[in-house]
Structure 1
Amino acid sequence: MPKVIDHDQRRREIVEVAKKLIAEGGFEAATMRSIVTAAGFANGALKHYFDGKDGIIAATFQSVLQETERRVSTLDPGATPLEALHGFVEAAMPLDSHRITSARVLLVLWEHSVANPELARQYRELLTMWRAELTTRISAVLGDVPSDAPTVGVLADEIISVTIGANVASLMHPVGELVVRYNAYIDGLMKRIAG
């Protein structure tokens, strides 16, 4: 009886290998040969799961974006509006080694997405979703200010910009070195919005 192979699981394994290679050595480190070797597959086996390197890179990019979305979506539904906003911002910041590694992979793939319209589209969609969610959460904290008010949009754009900047800056420091500063920023931001 032939062995049953879970193709989706194999794709996830390949993506995890690609993430690790990219995090450790950049985009150039994730060659088809290095991926197949690190995944423990025979030469040519990747073609059963992906059309080529672009398919692996697109799946890797999507995986990192989905990890961020999952962190955000698992927030406590019973939280106060301020707690919900705090949790949302915290989920996108590089506050642990896993998120810092994800930021490293995302940063490498951002550069690649400049020349890849599909990756650029996925990232724009994520930013659009983040901004919409942030404006909703900020508006809920403010109470009587609608989510489409200019002040709410400015705060949402600030948070997105700081989050992106924090992810980039975290790559230039030893893992976790900036966590105290980032938590202080989040706490100060919450006081500013609530107060």
Structure 2
Amino acid sequence: MPKIVDHDQRRREIVEVAKRLILRGGFEAATMRSISAEAGFANGALKHYFPGKDSIVAATFESVLVQISEHLDASGAETPSAEGELRAFLFSTMPRDREQIAAGRVLLALWKYALVHPALADLYRGHLDGWRDALVTRMEAARDEGAIRDQDFAPLADEYISTAIGGTIVHLMHPGGERIAEYDAYIERFLARLR
């Protein structure tokens, strides 16, 4: 009886291989040949799952954005207050563990690629818009709870996201966590301004 292959699982495995290669050697390291070799496929076998490198890169980019979004969505879920959920959300936007740092490194390697591929740029813009909406929603809930004052939350969300993106890059350059305390202090100052 022929072996049944789960094609979706194989695609996920190929994406994970692409992430590992990008982490080790940057975007250029993830060639079709290196992905095939690392995944244990014969040359050309990847074409059964992805038509070319562009489609693997797109799937990898999307996978990282989903991973980051799921992490953000889960932050503060156990917190009993809207202010606590806002705090947890803000702290979850900075990479603090090996998995988050790895996701950030892959995303950083793919940003340049996304700039010249409109579909990937749209995907990333959607991610940023979702992040902004989630942050504004959490600020509004904290305001409704009386924990922070009423104000125009959209520009504050934009400011925070810009700082968090910069902080992510700083953390990627200091993977030992040397700068986490500085950004933790920034988050506390940001929360104090909201109050």
TM-score normalised by structure 1 residue count: 0.91
Matched, 1:23 2:27: no
Residue ranges of structure 2 left out of the alignment (5+ in a row) = none
Contact 2:36 2:46 in 1 (8 A): yes
Distance 2:151 2:60 in 1: 35
Counterpart position of 2:168:
167
Give the fraction of aligned pairs with identical amino acids, expressed as a percent: 50
> Aligned partner of 1:13: which letter?
E
2:157 alignment counterpart? 156
Please state how far the C-alpha of 1:166 moved relative to its aligned partner: 1.0
Greater CA drift, 41-50 or 135-144: 135-144
- 2 CA distance for matches of 1:140 and 1:32? 47
**Paired position in structure 2 for 1:102:** 103
Q: Who is 2:88 aligned against?
A: 87
Matched, 1:67 2:67: yes
Q: Give the match's secondary structure for 2:142.
A: helix
**Inter-partner Cα distance in structure 2 for 1:129 and 1:50:** 28
- Once residues 137 and 118 of structure 1 are traced to their aligned partners in structure 2, the CA distance between those partners, rounded to angstroms, is 29
Q: Secondary structure at the match of 1:43?
A: coil
Q: Which sections of structure 1, spanning at least 5 residues, go unmatched?
A: none
Alpha-carbon distance, 1:183 to partner = 2.5
Determine helix, strand or coil for the equivalent of 2:136: helix
Deviation at 1:150, TM superposition (A): 6.4
Number of residue pairs the alignment of both structures matches: 191
Q: Is the 8 A contact 1:97 1:176 kept in 2?
A: no
Question: Structure 1 residue 39 and structure 2 residue 56: aligned?
Answer: no
The aligned residue for residue 189 of structure 1 is 190
- Indicate the larger mover: 21-30 or 115-124: 21-30
CA contact (8 A) 1:36 1:45 kept: yes
- The within-5 A match list for 1:126-145 is 126-143=127-144
Question: What's the CA shift for 1:101?
Answer: 1.1
Q: SS of the counterpart of 1:3?
A: coil
2-structure distance, mates of 1:96, 1:112: 25
Aligned-residue CA RMSD in angstroms? 1.8
Letter in 1 for 2:192: K
Structure 1 144/176 Cα, relative in aligned 2: closer, same or farther at 3 Å?
closer
**Which residue pairs with 2:9 in the alignment?**
9
Q: Secondary structure of the equivalent of 2:60?
A: helix
SS at match of 1:131: helix
Equivalent position amino acid for 1:187 in 2: E
Deviations 1:129-158 (A, max 9, x none): 11111111112212389xxx8631121011
Q: Distance in 2 between matches of 1:144 and 1:6?
A: 47
The verdict on how the C-alpha distance between 1:65 and 1:80 changes in structure 2, with shifts beyond 3 A counting, is: same
Provide the C-alpha distance between the structure 1 equivalents of 2:39 and 2:163, rounded to a whole number of angstroms.
Answer: 35
CA contact (8 A) 1:68 1:91 kept: no
Residues 82 and 145, structure 2, Cα contact 8 Å, conserved in 1: no
SS at match of 1:171: helix
Task: Write the letter of the residue equivalent to 1:121.
Answer: D
Q: Normalising by the residue count of structure 2, what TM-score does the alignment of the two structures yield?
A: 0.91
Name 1:123's counterpart in structure 2. 124
What is the Cα deviation at residue 171 of structure 1?
Answer: 2.0
